[in-house]
Structure 1
Amino acid sequence: MALLSPSLHYPCNLKSAFLGERSAIRSYVIPPSRTGVLRKPVECKESRIGKMPINVPSNVSITLDGQDLKVKGPLGELSQTYPREVKIEREESGILRVSKCVDSRKANQMHGLFRTLTDNMVVGVSKGFEKRLQLVGVGYRATLEGRDLVLNLGFSHPVRMPIPDGLQVKVEDNTRIAVSGYDKCSIGEFAAAIRKWRPPEPYKGKGVKYADEIVRRKEGKAGKKK
């Protein structure tokens, strides 16, 4: 029995039981050159936060060297290096402006981000920031021992946390903690590290929470109804 070569094509004739005639089935292939994808250009809107100017107080000095910015004030000194997608300029009036170098989605995201970081630097070295926490629970208390914050949160041993340089910590009534400084990022990281030891639970609200934090409470199991 001879094998048919796969390169040969034979018409397929089928006899229909309903029509009583033979019909040929043919297949058509659309050439790849006729197919295409409709591409829609992506429109990048300008960031509303990024285009806002940054006012520099008289007691803050600015040093701008290319993409490097250094801010010095009465509370401390901070520096920042900007990526190539954005640039920072200082006007004659002393106002700082952050603008985009390219028109892309990534540049639009960095525009608002680095404008906010720059504003935090100026406010931090001139006025400073503060984050407050509160301890809720029987026997929960905090004390200061030198440059260490000691927390009693119901564990078998007290938690000792060294205070980073540039931050000041105050304890009020053994249950209220105030973290202050000129670097907003460092303040937020240290406050989050304190809260991480005992996050507030949703039934009784026990734990370490931010002063302005609202803890959503859950209803406990109901007892047997008589």
Structure 2
Amino acid sequence: MASSITSSFQTSNLRSVFLGERNVLCLSSVPVTRVGFLRKTIECKDSRIGKQPIEVPSNVTITLEGQDLKVKGPLGELSIAYPREVKVERDESGILKVKKAVETRRANQMHGLFRTLTDNMVVGVSKGFEKKLQMVGVGYRAMVEGRDLVLSLGFSHPVRMTIPEGLKVQVEENTRITVSGYDKSQVGQFAASIRKWRPPEPYKGKGVKYADEVIRRKEGKAGKKK
């Protein structure tokens, strides 16, 4: 019995450097069985946005070829390529439905995203999008010269921006700018580039802001009391 115990354990003596005590370290030669882990199946629920159908107006033409979709309307033409995780279908009534092709977490994320992008395309070529900006400040003004937007924002020289193709820019009362177009991302990007030149500051509210933007104001520093 004693021989079997000594064969299953190997004893090595270690001496502590600081305390001078003898420690015993036992190494077991008995094989250890592997611990198994249970895999939990992830249930991917349908996106609330992704499962909503998309109504196509009568003045919009849809061309669907595999994973490629082209949308053409009175305002312009847009196209999109879907990833393999999602697919788009069109029923007899002309309604578009974006569905998941596989049941994965990435497919659940792509489902709602590409449904929104598809809906923006249909609305863009039929009705269009617009973004309004307001200029606040003494001497701040804007004007359109041909295909250029000229801004006076207090710099030593006016800012000249070329208007991209597919966009329209209108200026009212020299301080109100309206950017419109059929591509929602392009409209938002150009409006953001205009605002970037002079973002509104929180003390007096001077700068270029969106028409529906609320600026949180701050109080200025009070002078020292005499």
TM-score, normalization: structure 2? 0.86
- Which residue is 1:26 aligned to? 26
Is there any run of 5+ residues in structure 1 with no aligned partner, and where? 1-8, 15-21
Hey, what's the Cα distance between the residues in 1 that align with 2:119 and 2:202?
36
CA distance in 1, matches of 2:159, 2:131: 20
1:219 correspondence with 2:219? yes
CA distance in 1, matches of 2:14, 2:163: 87
- SS in structure 2 opposite 1:189? helix
Residue 189 (str. 1) matches residue 189 (str. 2): yes
Q: 1:225 offset after TM fit, Å?
A: 3.6
Three-state SS of the structure 2 residue aligned to 1:34 is coil
- CA, structure 1 residues 169+29, in 2 after alignment: closer, same or farther (shift >3 Å)? farther
Matched residue, 1:108: 108
After superposition, residues 168-207 of structure 1 pair within 5 angstroms as: 168-207=168-207
2:96 corresponding residue in structure 1: 96
Structure 2 unaligned regions, length at least 5: 1-9, 16-21
Q: CA deviation at 1:105?
A: 1.5
Specify the alignment match of 2:18 in structure 1. none
**1:29-48 matches, cutoff 5 A:** 33-37=33-37, 39-48=39-48
Alpha-carbon distance, 1:35 to partner: 3.8
Aligned-residue Cα RMSD (Å) equals 2.2
Query: Which residue in 2 is equivalent to 1:17?
Result: none
Q: Which consecutive segments of 4 or more residues in structure 1 shift more than 6 A?
A: none
Aligned residue pairs: how many?
A: 211
Normalising by structure 1, we get a TM-score of 0.86
With over 3 angstroms needed to count, the CA separation of the structure-2 counterparts of 1:218 and 1:31, relative to structure 1, is farther
Q: State the SS of the aligned residue for 1:50.
A: coil
Q: Percent identity?
A: 75
- 1:196 maps to a residue whose letter is K
| Equivalent-residue separation in structure 2 for 1:28 and 1:225 (angstroms) | 79
